[in-house]
Structure 1
Amino acid sequence: MNPIRKILIVGGGVAGLNLATKLGDQLGRIGKAEITLADRSPTHIWKPMLHTIAAGTWDVQQQQVSYIAHASEHHFTYQPGEMCGLDRSVREVTLAPLEMPDGEVIVGQRTLGYDVLILAIGSRANDFGVPGVTAHCHFIDSQAQAEAFNLTLRGRILRSVVNDEILRVAIVGGGATGVELSAELSRLLELAASYGDANIRDRLHLTLLESGSRILAAFPEEVSTHSAAQLRKIGVALHADTRVVGAEAEGFRLADGSLVAADLMVWAAGVKAADFLTRLDGLEVNRSNQVLVKPTMQTLTDPHIFVLGDCASLTPEEGARPLPPTAQVANQQADHLARHLESWLEGGTLPDFVFKDLGSLVSLSQYNAFGTLGKFGFFKGGFIRGHFAQLSHTYLYRRHQIGLHGMVRAGAMWLAERINGLVRPRIRLS
């Protein structure tokens, strides 16, 4: 009789929760493996929608997934905590102590054993060491950060209304997060106008700063061009080829010495994995802290450790560049490992992961959406925009929900959203 294997997944993002759900249903349900998911947060939010949580245009309570409840339904165990160490010689992961906001330690440092370790801890914005960014800027890399920004944003909006003064928001980073957040903030203030202050949107001065020659540099140029035009149309001030050299209490300092004044500052530039990955037991990383992996998603130094999603650096054999840190890549990697891990545990071989580019989409709130279709499917490589592109963007999230909950439950959740939308405010007011 084969021993029960301990599979430890660290990180409950797109890849981690998807994989824990599938492995729990496949192996945990029949007792062939003990599946454990560790994450510092108690809930999961689909990362591409964090900008809507930050703006307050989507109900976080309806969209978040409780790890404890989900684990009980899908035959795996949830352990709260943030990974801080690894000992490959005894196959143990160390979790940092859990603390209350006042610093009180409620659960001390712990270790979790594993036979197979899967790291899927995602990524965050990269401040590149720019002075003042950590002290003065908001980041939108997690649910906690998105909610913290929203709390501050609502306070600034209230001050703008009461004092009849402008609200200056500046965002650094013209990638998907910065672009989509810009559009969502504009939409938020338009919706807020219906609650008593008709001029509130006119007082929003929104600036988007990008160091490169165009926004959405990772997207096809056609998507970038149309998105820039749409943002300008709704009143966003775009500044490309603009290098920020510092963040101050009054705004962003530029390389030419000028200051972009702001009441709220967001840093959404660059991508890097967590710093602690550089200190793990012998794992090789790149300059962005991403762990280097083989095409099987195993690390170069230990075949019992897999790394998925944004925190992994995988260069396809036929490609000159690593795969991009996107939800699409993370989701496909989780699906691939879920299909083949059981066979590998029983002595089989792992096939290489092959990424299928299904296209790229950016949604500018309710104003518009743009994208290109991938190399697979009926409309190969075509440019899409408008309602069809918005539906395609929404479909990505709905597909994520189906993967986690199944069609019936996901359908019930969609119906509940529509019903709640009829009786609740369209934006977060408290």
Structure 2
Amino acid sequence: MPRTRPDGKKTQIVVVGGGAGGLELVTKLGANLSRQDFDIILVDRNATHIWKPLLHEVAAGSLDANLDEVGYRGHAFRWGYRYFDGALEDIDRAAKQIVVAPIIDEDGNEVIGRHRIRYDYLVMAVGSVSNDFGTPGVRENTISLDTRADADRFRRRLLNQCLRVSRQMTADPDAESYARVAIVGGGATGVELAAELYSAATALGFYGLEVFDEKRLQVTLIEAGPRILPALPDKLAASATAELEALGVRVLANTPVTSATPEAIITKSGEVIGADIMVWAAGVKGAPFLANIGGLETTRNNQLVVGSTLQTTLDDCIFAIGDCAYYVPEGQGRPIPPRAQAAHQMATTVYHNLRAAIAGKPMRDFVYRDKGSLVSLARYTTVGSLMGNLVGGRMAIEGRLARLVYTSLYRMHLLAIHGWVKGFSLLLVGHVNQVVRPQLKLH
């Protein structure tokens, strides 16, 4: 395809979703394609980006999202793309346009009406949402850490409950009062949140809750499978279980959940697990609006089916990356897992393939390279496994080495979206903030 269309307009590349993959992609496109010939547009319903693997820290108050989030408007100005605020509603493939839903303010007034944005190439990078598997009461009574708004909501409820407990203990030191949290899902999100809560509870006593500490926190981690952290080797999963139990977490494996009420989680065995706050982290799926959007092929979990070049099966001008993409490599029985590293690698492949398509050159097939899995147990420890090419296979790591590798993943993301100079500057500022700013965000 020529750099400019026959009608003289710029070639327009629209990326929907500013998560890990989408933001890295528009950064590369904006930095490397001529602004005179190309118009790069990012569409996202949120005004800012925060790395999703950090949401458990935002929820616990250990991370101030205001310091780590990236404003799309300022970022777009620097890197040569345009940002449009809005939620995708539909894709008109015949007209090669996306339909963006109206923007409504807090008072219910329409700010911007429903409108359309044309595209020559469209990249879907809208991520995923929690999968409740149709379990009764889950949607109404639990919180899923899908967005910063979810994390902020959890933090507010947690702090309110901790304050109630602190006041009750002040009035009656012998009162049996606790902040009870039930987390359903023993994957990385659930495990990391459980550990982070105890780290935060330890620090609350220094910020006005004099009689509250980790002994007043009761966390139950519920997993339907035979053990937590199924992506890790048995030894590391057992190590993480032991670490959590040492903190005070009640870990329940082989415990399917059948329903949720406003006050409790109900298990298949009939146990009623009372909780003040309930978190659902048991799986992910594509957002409901993706189901057959634009007549594209989708899975039962609302993911867009793509081929080896990450183009959707029914439209070569539409790509999909990250959690919303469903791709099973030839000869493998499982799809690419919904991980940040997969989104990063997909963004790199689609960047190359978009440039190849524009230049009329062959595209490259996507090859997923599993770098391993790492799970951070707050300040206590980190466990994980890396694809140890130098040692002939998968290498299990724990402790400080694992923590170093874990933090390096976020640093690589910062460098990818900010460049080397600003990226290193932000890393330095982050270290300074650890010293000069409060340990917890309490508002």
**If the TM-score is normalised by the length of the shorter chain, which range does it land in?**
over 0.9
Greater alpha carbon shift after TM alignment, 416-425 vs 30-39: 416-425
Q: Answer whether contact 2:3 2:358 (CA < 8 A) is retained.
A: no
Verify the 8 A CA contact 2:15 2:124 in the aligned structure 1. yes
What is the TM-score with the length of structure 1 in the denominator? 0.97
Cα drift, residue 99 of structure 1: 1.4
Displacement, 1:104? 2.2
1:181-220 alignment, distance < 5 Å: 181-195=193-207, 196-197=209-210, 199-220=212-233
SS at match of 1:382: strand
Deviations 1:136-155 (A, max 9, x none): 11110111111111111111
Deviations 1:233-267 (A, max 9, x none): 11100011111111111111112222100001111
What secondary structure, in the 3-state scheme, does the structure 1 residue paired with 2:155 have?
helix
Structure 1 residues without counterparts, runs of 5 or longer:
none
Q: 1:303 aligns to what SS in structure 2? A: strand
CA distance, structure 1, for counterparts of residue 108 and residue 236 of structure 2 = 46
Residues 83-115 of structure 1 show CA distances to partners (whole Å, capped at 9, x for unaligned) of 011110001111111112332221111111100
1:24 alignment partner AA: G
- Change in Cα spacing, 1:294 to 1:374, as seen in structure 2 (3 Å) is same
Greater than 3 Å deviation, 4+ residue runs? 375-380
| The one of 265, 268, 272 aligned to 1:255 | 268
Matched, 1:5 2:11: yes
Instruction: Verify: 1:130 aligned to 2:135, yes or no.
Output: yes
User: Are 1:117 and 2:125 matched, yes or no?
Assistant: no
Letter in 2 for 1:222: K
Give the CA deviation at 1:375: 5.0
Correspondence for 2:381 among 368, 374, 379: 368
Match for residue 93 of structure 1 among 89, 94, 98: 98
Corresponding residue of 2:338: 325
Superimposed CA distance per residue, residues 285-333 of structure 1 (whole angstroms, 9 cap, x where no aligned partner): 1121111100100011000000000000111113111110100100001
Residue aligning to 1:16: 22
**Whole-angstrom distance in 1 between the partners of 2:235 and 2:38:** 47
Corresponding residue number in structure 2 for 1:290: 303
| 1:401 corresponds to 2:410 | no
1:73 corresponds in structure 2 to 78
Task: State the distance in 1 between where 2:375 and 2:3 align.
Answer: 47
Return the alpha-carbon distance in structure 1 between the equivalents of residues 282 and 390 of structure 2. Answer: 32
TM normalised by structure 2 equals: 0.94
Q: Give 5+ residue unaligned stretches, structure 2.
A: 5-9, 170-176
The DSSP-based 3-state class of the residue aligned with 1:404 is helix
Could you tell me which of 227, 230, 243 is aligned with 1:230? 243
Give distance in 2, aligned partners of 1:30 and 1:378.
45
Q: Look up the SS of the partner of 2:346 in the other structure.
A: helix
Could you tell me which residue of structure 2 aligns to residue 166 of structure 1? 178
Deviates more, 1:119-128 or 1:153-162: 153-162
Structure 1: distance between partners of 2:271 and 2:152 = 31
SS in 2 for 1:117: strand
Alpha-carbon distance in structure 1 between the residues aligned to 2:40 and 2:234? 43
Give, in whole Å, the separation in 2 of the partners of 1:425 and 1:375.
Answer: 38
Are the counterparts in 2 of residues 358 and 376 from structure 1 also a CA contact under 8 Å? no
Cα offset, 1:380, TM superposition? 4.2
TM-align CA RMSD: 1.4
What is the aligned partner in structure 1 of residue 173 from structure 2?
none
Identity of aligned residues (%): 41
Q: Aligned equivalents of 1:36 and 1:197: distance in 2?
A: 50
Per-residue deviation at 1:423? 2.4
> Counterpart amino acid of 1:62?
L
Q: Any idea what SS the aligned residue of 2:406 has?
A: helix
Distance between the aligned counterparts of 1:198 and 1:158, measured in 2? 10
2:239 & 2:265 partners in 1: Cα distance?
Answer: 26
Please show how residues 405-420 of structure 1 align to structure 2 within 5 Å. Answer: 405-420=418-433
Equivalents in 2 of 1:311, 1:223: separation in Å? 29
Q: CA deviation at 1:133?
A: 1.0
- Do the aligned residues in 1 keep the contact of 2:352 with 2:363 (CA within 8 Å)? no
Pairing partner for 1:334 from 347, 365, 371: 347
* Structure 1, 195-204 or 149-158: larger mean CA deviation: 195-204
